[in-house]
Structure 1
């Protein structure tokens, strides 16, 4: 196998016309990339959950690039092309999508929201840009107590150094997807949300929001392209809670949330936007002199338990063998997480 990409969380290998995702114990928050320490067994947990979710959704009629499990921390998927937009004179050029490529990654993240909660980004963004309300089909700015049924769906960029939310007109102007394909992205995401919400509710977990990614498949009779669910589904892509505590990457964000480094990340992104540069990370490291510190041994232990317990629960519900010992449960994680978060 040939290593084709090393990410902050997983490594991609090419094996003929397939890709192999090897999940590591690395983690990333705030778009930083690889953090200074690792979470034991995280890779095995993510691989198990990805397989569980893809297999479960396939049974519900939602196609994906998933082929099968290779070993405890590795899955095999169908390969798709990644066409990266060029950064020219302060903006990204997506002209390579005008030819309507197939078997290629859709350069958009699709974000869904079921529940907002306090401190959500949507409320503040809508207050700054009320015109975006109509784009989302909303009549008023929602509050932290708002629940959406069906889920609210937004789009953001995928292949840029910092994600930015997009209106329907901006997506149309980028000429990435047709109007029909944009509607299909929304509809298929709604189907996924319904199935995931039912799955998590079965063992007491609340699904708040998340993101999914797609690839263009073959062209259909109407000229639009099929959509395949790609990348991964798990606690790094979803915001979940269990008995009031964050059961996702949000847990890791909270561990770093009140640090000088997290403040510097926000400031450096603002400075990068003002300067029209992509390299906010260098501003954070070189100008603001801030890098993330390692987690404590106790924080690492509880973080590892989060991933293992959730992988066990998901596998059990979809009929797969639990990947970790029986004592790795959400109840046990909750008890230990309360101590760390001071709840």
Structure 2
């Protein structure tokens, strides 16, 4: 299915019927669109699976439609509080994935011809804070967007907390994701103006739910991404995974506790400089070469970070690790050593 999780299909989705499948969250990770990196992060898969399940169950309580069925233990889909031990397998309803045709760019007519039961070919990004390293600053610098297009009165500064969240769209089914205007998002997805507004409204609601939950344990929800699909009756539902340190950019006591920790490490390498120079060219991944492995202490600390996040966000001690506060303290020390 992808570089970090696999899909087991139990029942294929059909034009008029949802399918059924299982996401198997792995300990693999990916940064900079490279694909699978050379190390595994122990406990990451189960942590992300359980955090995502927690938020899907919260969405259900708030009547926000989604594709979650349960967490698999002993080949049975269970609710989070029924689990006897951590699991990295989530059962979900499946929709059809209809890909655009690649002809002089991308032709989305096969998707727009459909009425229901398909993945909407967009990623929807919400931003509550503009941290250093946010793609917003690169795009502003290159003139690809203006502050006004983002609803800002002037040029933002790194670390700026936004009065009102920014909601943007990017492509989902192209070889490389690209940010697009909402007009283009409407055009390629086959959504009506009303459905686009509903998409934005659901995104705001999910953002509020995630922000409220994580803030109780001292985590700041800086930004995140969501994916959507139409069910068999053309009702919008949230799909994929939500509210995890991979789908969101979380910070704790001023430090990123997401994949940004790993990005931060790799940005100092020659491999990353090759990636930046080659990205977008044919076979750029092969040309960039194999990424270096993580220092063992850093790999273990990042593993503890994911597991501590899971314990504290869900309120269930699934993993025997230190508190998030202690883990972040250790990570800060390690990052200073590797600086």
Instruction: Give the TM bin, normalised by the shorter chain.
Output: 0.7 to 0.9
Matched, 1:203 2:198: no
Q: Where does the alignment leave 5 or more consecutive residues of structure 1 unmatched?
A: 220-224, 273-278
Query: TM-score by structure 1 length?
Result: 0.87
Distance 1:118 1:283 in 2: 26
Q: SS at the partner of 2:279? A: helix
Q: 1:263: Cα distance to partner?
A: 1.4
RMSD: 1.8
- 1:118-157 alignment runs, 5 A limit: 118-129=132-143, 132-157=146-171
Match of 1:213 among 188, 207, 227: 227
- Partner in structure 2 of residue 253 of structure 1: 263
- Partner in structure 2 of residue 291 of structure 1: 290
Distance 2:62 2:183 in 1: 32
- 1:50-65 alignment runs, 5 A limit: 50-65=52-67
Q: Deviations over 1:5-36 (max 9, x none)?
A: 3x211110011231100111111111111111
Q: How many residues align?
A: 316
Q: SS at the partner of 2:231? A: strand
- Partner in structure 1 of residue 331 of structure 2: 337
- 1:153-172 alignment runs, 5 A limit: 153-172=167-186
Query: TM-score by structure 2 length?
Result: 0.88
Q: 1:268: Cα distance to partner?
A: 1.3
Distance 1:307 1:119 in 2: 21
Check 1:29–1:124 CA distance in 2 against 1; reply closer, same or farther (3 A cut). Answer: closer
Query: In 2, are the aligned partners of 1:135 and 1:168 still within 8 Å (CA)?
Result: no
Query: In 2, are the aligned partners of 1:39 and 1:300 still within 8 Å (CA)?
Result: yes
Q: 1:266: Cα distance to partner?
A: 1.5
- Partner in structure 2 of residue 276 of structure 1: none
- 1:30-179 alignment runs, 5 A limit: 30-71=32-73, 72-89=87-104, 91-129=105-143, 132-174=146-188, 176-179=190-193
Distance 2:88 2:160 in 1: 37
Q: 1:130: Cα distance to partner?
A: 6.8
Q: 1:308: Cα distance to partner?
A: 0.4
Which stretch has the larger CA shift, 133-142 or 40-49?
Answer: 133-142
Q: 1:145: Cα distance to partner?
A: 4.2
- 1:245-284 alignment runs, 5 A limit: 245-270=255-280, 272=281, 279=282, 282-284=283-285
- Partner in structure 1 of residue 239 of structure 2: 230
Query: In 1, are the aligned partners of 2:214 and 2:221 still within 8 Å (CA)?
Result: yes
Q: 1:218: Cα distance to partner?
A: 4.1
